[in-house]
Structure 1
Amino acid sequence: MALLSLLCGCESTDGGSNFQRTGGEAAASTVAQPSNIAATATTDSSIALAWTDNASNETGFELEKCSGSACTSFTAVSASPLLNNATTHTEAGLSPSTIYRFRIRAVGNGGTSSNWTVSDNITTSSIPSAPTSISKSILPSGVTLSWVDNATSETAFTLERCAGANCRADPANFVTTVSSAISANATSYTDSTVVQGTTYNYRLKACNTLGCSDWLTLGSDAAVTSWPTFGVEPTESSKTAASVTIGWGDSASDNGYEIRRCLASSCTYSTIGTAVEDATSFTDYGLSSNTAYKYQARPLLGGAGDDSGWKPDTPLSITTYAAPTAPSSFVQTMTDIGATTITFSWTDNTAGAGTHYIEKCTGAGCTNFAALASVAAGVTSYQAVGLTAGTIYRFRVRSYQYGAYSSSYLTSSDISTKAYMPWMTDGPVHSSLISGSTMFIGGDFLTIGPYTGTGISITTSNANMTAALIGTLAKVNGTIYCVIPDGGSGFYIGGSFTAVGGASRKRVARIAFDGSVGVASIGDTFTVDNGEVRALALNSLHDTLYVGGTFTTVNGATTRNHIAKVSTLGALDGWNPNLNGNVYALVANEPVIYAGGAFTDIGGGTTRNRLVAINSTTGAATAWDPNSNGTVHTLLLDGTTLYAGGDFTALDATESTARSRLASISTADGSINTFTANANGSVRALALDGTTLYAGGLFTQINSSTRNYIAAVDTSTGDVTSWNPSANSTVFALSVDSNSNVYAGGSFTQLGGQTRYYAGALNSSGTTISWHPASNDTVYGISIYSTYAYLGGSFTSSGGYYTGRLAAIDLSTGIPKSWFAPKPSSTVRALAANSTGSTLYFGGDFTTVGSSTRNRIAAASTGTGSLTSWNPGVSSHSVHAIALDSTDANVYVGGTFTGGTAGGVEANYLAS
């Protein structure tokens, strides 16, 4: 039998628990069999195995188990086959109090060891294994213990505690059983019976019906603290229309805060966020405007909080602000628009507390708005700068207050910046030169300015007329002699023109404040066919215009000798006084119309010498007859007194009352008042401010007092006042604004001791103020209405600069560089620049430039306009040509000079 086992490789049993190969027999396999297998029960559900590896060529081990004493129904363990060279294995998941046997054999490339090595019987423990790795988490509400469960047979865990620091040192101190029924397989338990301010320790064991494991004791004390409390309970800190911020005093022992909120109208709290340790505030965003909310907060410890810790006890009730109301009333007027700027304003509906955000887009009807700017609370206007001339823009404004925007925008209509006007000189240009982005011109001109036509609409606040470079300004093609306000939004003008803004307007027209020609108004249907319109008057209802002048027909063929009545919509009235001479002045005081001029007859048979009162209904002369012996150029009504100015020297029926060119006449009976202010030259303009009568004209004296072309007299006596600004030529127009500033127009270039080309303004002390339209020819009419002014005359340009025969023009805008003004004393005929463009050489007829001597040739810096030290001088005649060589070292000069020197050297016609 033994031999059979050897030959067949069979196993035999020794009647015990091990299967063994028969001793001394050769193995059928080349893989050595493992030996010395030993089994140890480590827990109630696991057995540790160890063996001796006798092979060097195995690839692994097959391990099998069976249960029961001397069992033989082996099955592979879950981990089989094991790795090569392994010598241990722990089999877990076993049944407690159960006998197991194990067998193992080696596996290799040469096959398997033919025999199994078998273990003895081994029984798993019946008492559960002790837990391990106990740890703690402490809150004021309880101590939570966690552990690793090493048993499968426990039916419960028992947890005990002791009280006092280091109480675990004596097991007898564990006198309190927290629980003896912690469920099987549990790995944590919270002791919620603790007392805040007490230190504890804990021990734990696993148990079943057969017994309990050893105790597992917590390695460190568990000191239970109190719940943290606020230093100061929460209060409202701030709010907006979309957020609320609450604040509190920090707790000394927290590690964060929890905040909850509900709607005040239906309060169901929900946590809305947390704040970090040491935080003292929390902001709740994304709220609805004008809505009531309730808030509470509590400190946290270990991520938890006390249910009784929500504070304040009476929740904070906070109502968010209402969203701001959109702004309204977008305002932008003619004076708000420049070539590159638009100024506008709006009404703030947020009680002055809201910021306003402004957006802009480009193009008619545009909607692609982009952010432009914001303005602070209380600011209700904005000037957009850096715009493009002649371009349409739209703007919109939105209010922002208390963290929210208004629900809608205030949007403007289309607004166009003004286009740059072409500029012109007041005399010939003899030479031009382009250098870089600048054109230099020289000639016989003194000023350069934009082409405006003969009328301009500006404001009384503009210091100069640069702001009047208005592309929409309706250009008038002939002289304007008279201007009056229309009582609303513009002016009426009269003169010798036939077109305004390219539209037919024969000698009378309406101009809006923005300078545009009026449509659907008087000039569309009413025309003056010949002569000139020299006087206009508007009735108190602003619906009837009286027109006077040198004309004899209107509307193509209708006779109206020197005076006519027309509705402001252009309908000609049948009213026809039929004067036999020119009308230069009108005053409408219905039912009477006062006229002054050069006529001597009304209605074909009634004598009225140069002054007449006409019934506004019948057109017949009234009995009023002051009888002037000279032309009347201007009239001004003050209550029952009519002031007249002109060329007369005597008045009344017998022409026996001497009044030289200025008189005061009663409107009741035509008698001449005692007021006496005799002028030594023609009076052409009158204006009244209280008891002061301002007069302008050709005079140089009033009542023997020197008053050059402009004066002020007392209306009670006619005596001149101390107001004495003086002009250097005729004053044809006067007007007074609400601030008692006097605006004058005429042929002067000096006013009040200051340079004022053809128009300027003076204050009530006679001092010249900054207003200076700077026209290039005579101003015949000025009218002031509110802050608007309209000037008319024979000029063609306003808002320019005095450059004195030499100017520099920016090619990108067409506007002269006002700072470049060397001001040569006579004609400039030739220009040249060096290769870098930094120096301009100019020649001509001049002998000085500014206050420096420069005979007929000079050089100036193109960057500053200042003269350089270069001063060769040409002693006679004129320089007509200048050129530089390629190195800028030599300047070549040609001209009409002979018999003299150039640069100190005798030269004829050409020099270097």
Structure 2
Amino acid sequence: MRRKHLAAGALGAGLAVLLSLSPTAVADTAPAPGEPATVTADPQPTWQTDGVVLAMEIVNGVAYVGGNFDHVRPPGVPRGGAGEVARTGLAAFDAATGELLPWAPVVTGPVFTDTDDQIECDNVGPDQWRCDTVWEIKAAPDGSKLYVAGDFAKVNGERRYRIAAFDTATGALDDAFAPSPNSRVRALAVSDTTVFAGGHFTAVGDATRTRLAAFNRADGALLPWAPTADKRVMAMVLAPSGTRVIVGGDFNRINGVWQHGLSAVNVSNGSKGTFLSNDIPYNNSNNRSWVTDLVTDGTRVYASADGVGTFDGRLAVNPENGARIWINNCLGATQAISVMDGVLYSGSHAHRCDMQNYYEGKGFPEVRPHRRFLAEPAGTPAGARQQILHWFPNAQPGTVYPFVQGPWTMANDGVNLWTGGDFTQVNDKPQEGLTRFTTHAVSPDVNGPVQTDFKAPTAVANGGGAVTVTWKATWDLDNRKVRYEVVRSDGAVACTAEANTVFWNLPTLSCTDTGLTAGSVYKYRIRAIDPYNNRISSPSSPDITVS
């Protein structure tokens, strides 16, 4: 029998180097003990949109999506193809299967002229932007009502100025809930009794309300709660205690008090709440960040940010006093976040994650293409450096919003992670506007390591019946551990190797096939296998004659 072994001076040294780098990305769908598992990077079959998805909420097993689109269509179908149906700005899907549901309200709206956000509407003429867009969807805590907000002026032909409510049991528009903010509503937070709203508006009906307002859930009546923000509010979430509304956006002052981008307002009287974080920087209009999304897991509040020349990442804060727990600053605007089973998922166009406050100071350096999806542990202790997890699905951006292409919104039900935005492909396959992921337990990981650039190995005859085979490692979207089999052209596995790899650090590996007969001729190829036995194969090497 021919002996099969690793060359001590070749593969052994390569693995030693590789393993010293492996902590830069931990956890995956088959994590080491104590590490949080992610959903798989395999997109599940999901209907698509013909425009951008900007808002999402999952309640009672239904994934509600909103945005700027006119039709939806089945998975794998191109625009205008078989099965496409009308859905104008709002649609609903089975959260577990991705199948379209009958709910089909129609939102229509005015021309929007706020200079802060003209890029986020459809240009329909000189200085005119069509904005019948839904920007926010939030459910009542008991799941009985669904609240939507944006730029629209009508729903199903009935006047609803920028905010509306639906009964989730029947899908019907709520006749009683009809406030009238005078400009975009971008953010909502809902308690048992109250709908809190934030955005660009400066009045509700005849009453002054400066970008923040509250409405009675029962009848939509404007409430006395009237804090102020000097610029746009883009995200809101109730603190777990229910006593504070955490607000995020591109404002500089809340109730006239300077606190850029992220602050808190008391539910009881609208006063500005204590908020210790000052992590959303403002140096000047060309060097600042703003909060794009806020979520809570019942213990912490998490914020995502976009920025100009500064902070683009995520952070966690104590919701009762605003004290920072952890922060990271991957470069590349983050538009959406969702927390599920101890993991914070984000949608962005991250292009650099080796900033100083990352785990051991390491992450991926400047890369192209940008990474559109990332994951990180939500429960990182206060003061500890944050890390990125090994979960790297990707999306091909669209062209509607040229400065912030990619994912715009995320939501989950504890099992299914949905995301929508301005994208046309997911993991290099056509999928527009909408996709979803789930756990390995629900839908097993079926995609193997990355085939792109997995090239043929090099084989060199060493004499004495030995051949050394060398290859560049590949990587896997959701598993850091990849096993390699070196396969001879006679079908035998010459040797095996195992390595932890990340896309930004793909080392060269090698091993030696021994006990061969001089004069025999072989080719070699490399088989790369993930922990679930999904596999790919490299091309074969040229013929090598054993010496």
The TM tier, using the shorter chain, reads 0.5 to 0.7
Aligned partners of 1:819 and 1:865 also within 8 Å: no
Q: Is the 8 A contact 1:707 1:724 kept in 2?
A: no
Alignment partner, residue 791 of structure 1: 419
Contact persistence 1:743–1:761 (CA under 8 A): yes
Q: For 1:688 and 1:817, locate their aligned partners in 2 and report how far apart those are by CA, in whole Å.
A: 33
> In structure 2, what is the Cα distance between the partners aligned to 1:476 and 1:507?
10
Match of 1:719 in 2: 323
Give deviations 1:227-248, integer Å, cap 9, x for gaps.
xxxxxxxxxxxxxxxxxxxxxx
- Structure 2 contact 47–100 (Cα < 8 Å) conserved: no
For the residues of structure 1 that align with 2:263 and 2:376, how far apart are their CA atoms? 24
Alignment of 1:402-413 (within 5 A): none
Contact in 1 for aligned 2:69/2:89 (Cα 8 Å): yes
Corresponding position of 2:391? 771
Contact 2:312 2:334 in 1 (8 A): no
Note the C-alpha offset of 1:817: 8.8
User: 1:699: Cα distance to partner?
Assistant: 4.4
Matches within 5 A, 1:318-329: none
Separation in 1, partners of 2:228, 2:540: 61
Q: Secondary structure at the match of 1:612?
A: strand
- Say whether the 8 Å CA contact 2:153–2:160 is kept in structure 1: yes
In structure 2, what is the Cα distance between the partners aligned to 1:677 and 1:479?
Answer: 32
- State the Cα distance separating 1:790 from its structure 2 match: 0.3
2:252 paired with 1:620: no
The Cα offsets for residues 277-318 of structure 1, whole Å up to 9 and x where unpaired, read as xxxxxxxxxxxxxxxxxxxxxxxxxxxxxxxxxxxxxxxxxx
Query: 2:521 matched to which residue of 1?
Result: none
1:250-399 pair list within 5 angstroms: none
Q: Which residue of 2 aligns with 1:682?
A: 290
8 Å Cα contact 1:627-1:651 kept in structure 2:
yes
Give the equivalent residue in structure 2 for 1:415. none
Shift of 1:615: 1.5
Is the counterpart of residue 567 in structure 1 residue 241 in structure 2? Answer: no
State the SS of the aligned residue for 2:210. coil
In the TM superposition, what is the alpha-carbon distance from 1:745 to its structure 2 partner?
Answer: 1.1
Alignment-derived partner of residue 494 in structure 1: 66
The answer for the alignment partner of 2:56 in structure 1 is: 483
C-alpha distance in 1 between matches for 2:274 and 2:376: 29
Q: Output the CA distance in 2 between the equivalents of 1:580 and 1:478.
A: 25
How many angstroms does 1:691 deviate by?
A: 4.5
SS at 2:392 equivalent: coil
Q: Which amino acid in the other structure matches residue 451 of structure 2?
A: W
Identity level (%): 25
**Equivalent residue for 2:153, pick from 535, 539, 552:** 552
Query: Conserved in 1, the CA contact under 8 Å of 2:58 and 2:413?
Result: yes
Inter-partner Cα distance in structure 1 for 2:188 and 2:541: 54
The 8 Å contact of residues 51 and 422 in structure 2, kept in 1 or not, is answered as yes
Amino acid at match of 2:207: T
- In the alignment, is residue 746 of structure 1 matched against residue 348 of structure 2? yes
Counterpart of 1:651?
254
Alpha-carbon contact 1:660-1:677 (below 8 Å) kept: no
**Structure 1 residues 726 and 712, CA, compared in 2 at 3 Å: closer, same or farther?**
same
Aligned to 2:375: 761
CA contact (8 A) 1:744 1:760 kept: yes
Give ranges in structure 2 of 5+ residues lacking alignment: 1-36, 74-83, 110-131, 282-288, 381-385, 398-405, 430-446, 456-505, 509-524, 527-536, 543-547
User: How many Å separate the matches in 2 of 1:866 and 1:732?
Assistant: 43
Q: How does 1:524-673 map to 2 (within 5 A)?
A: 526-530=105-109, 531-555=132-156, 557-568=157-168, 569-574=170-175, 575-603=177-205, 605-638=206-239, 639-652=242-255, 655=256, 657-673=257-273
Change (3 A) 1:518 1:820: closer
> Secondary structure at the residue paired with 1:669?
coil
TM-align CA RMSD: 3.1
Which one-letter code corresponds to 1:770 in the other structure?
Answer: H
Given the superposition, is the C-alpha separation of residues 865 and 636 from structure 1 closer, same or farther in structure 2, using an over 3 Å criterion? farther
Aligned residues of 2:313 and 2:328 also touching (Cα < 8 A): no
Q: Which amino acid in structure 1 is aligned with residue 336 of structure 2?
A: A
Instruction: Report if the CA contact (8 A) 2:276-2:324 is conserved.
Output: no
Residue 730, structure 1, aligned to residue 330, structure 2 = no
Q: What residue is the counterpart of 1:503 in the other structure?
A: 85
Distance change in 2, residues 1:797/1:601 (3 Å): same
Task: Return the letter of the residue paired with 2:420.
Answer: G
CA shift for structure 1 position 514 = 3.7
Note if contact 1:699-1:707 (Cα within 8 Å) is conserved in structure 2: yes
Q: How does 1:756-905 map to 2 (within 5 A)?
A: 757-763=371-377, 764-765=379-380, 766-777=386-397, 778-800=406-428, 818-821=450-453, 864=538
Q: Is the CA contact 2:244–2:320 (under 8 Å) kept in the aligned structure 1?
A: no
Counterparts of 2:541 and 2:133, CA distance in 1? 48
- Distance of aligned partners of 1:546 and 1:469 in 2 relative to their CA distance in 1, 3 Å threshold: closer
Letter in 1 for 2:453: A
Give the aligned partner of residue 710 of structure 1: 314
- Which AA in structure 1 matches 2:39? N
For the 8 Å contact 2:210–2:230, the answer to whether it is kept is yes
**Distance change in 2, residues 1:820/1:590 (3 Å):** closer
Deviations 1:602-641 (A, max 9, x none): 12x1010111001123322111011111100000002111
Partners of 1:463 and 1:772 within 8 A in 2: no
Aligned residues: 345
SS of the equivalent of 2:336 reads: strand
- State the TM-score, normalized to the length of structure 1: 0.35
1:793 partner letter: G
Deviation at 1:475, TM superposition (A): 1.5
- 8 A contact 1:783–1:791 mirrored in 2: yes
**After the TM superposition, which segments of 4 or more aligned residues of structure 1 sit over 6 Å from their partners?**
none
Q: Supply the distance in 2 between the matched residues of 1:690 and 1:573 (Cα, whole angstroms).
A: 29
Aligned to 2:461: none
CA contact (8 A) 1:636 1:642 kept: yes
The structural deviation recorded for 1:707 is 5.4
- In the TM superposition, what is the alpha-carbon distance from 1:552 to its structure 2 partner? 1.4
Segments of structure 1 that go 5 or more residues without pairing to the other structure are 1-459, 802-814, 824-849, 853-860, 869-912
Cα deviation for residue 589 of structure 1 reads 1.7
C-alpha spacing 1:762/1:700, structure 2 compared with 1 (3 Å): farther
Matches of 2:69 and 2:388, distance apart in 1: 32
User: CA 1:791 to 1:515, structure 2 compared with 1: closer, same or farther past 3 Å?
Assistant: farther
Q: For the pair shown, which has the larger CA radius of gyration, 1 or 2?
A: 1
